[in-house]
Structure 1
Amino acid sequence: MRQILGTNDPTALAFATALLRGEGIDCFEMDVNMSVLEGSVGVLPRRLMVREADHARASVVLSDNGLSPAP
């Protein structure tokens, strides 16, 4: 798995997830439950992960739709 997006904006994560799944790219959101440790302030970013083989294609999908993918 490789990180494709890291953000603390839940709207961007939902948008990115919908875009990737719409293109048939499986993705997984990590660090969702970190809010328990941080006190729900939203300081710690969540990571959206994709398979290594899908990373290049996922980067193009996110870039084409105005999101900045992780390198």
Structure 2
Amino acid sequence: MAELLRTNEVGLVALVEALLNDAGIPHQVTDRNMSVLEGSILAIPMRVLVPDEQESEARQLMVDAELGEWLRP
């Protein structure tokens, strides 16, 4: 699995999930519950993962949606 982004922004994760769902790209959000449980210290960000073979498609989708600044290198 390839990591697309890492953030504590719940709204951003929801937007990226909607984009990936619409494009039919499977994905997984990790650490969602831990991010909520740890509260406001922002120590454990959520991560959005996609299959390695669909990483370039998912990255292009985010760039097209003007979310490229959030992509992990």
TM-score norm. by structure 2 comes to 0.85
Q: Name the structure 2 match of 1:70.
A: 72
Contact 1:4/1:59 (CA < 8 Å) preserved in 2?
yes
Deviation at 1:61, TM superposition (A): 0.2
5+ residue gaps, structure 1, are: none
d(CA) in 1 for partners of 2:24, 2:41: 29
Q: Name the structure 1 match of 2:40.
A: 41
**How many residues are treated as equivalent by the alignment?**
69
5+ residue gaps, structure 2, are: none
User: Could you tell me which amino acid in structure 2 is paired with residue 8 of structure 1?
Assistant: N
Of all paired residues, the percent bearing the same amino acid is: 30
d(CA) in 1 for partners of 2:66, 2:12: 10
Q: Superposition RMSD on alpha carbons, in Å?
A: 1.2
Q: 1:13 to 1:42 in 2, by over 3 A?
A: farther
Q: Name the structure 2 match of 1:5.
A: 5
Runs of 4 or more consecutive aligned structure 1 residues displaced over 6 Å after TM superposition: none
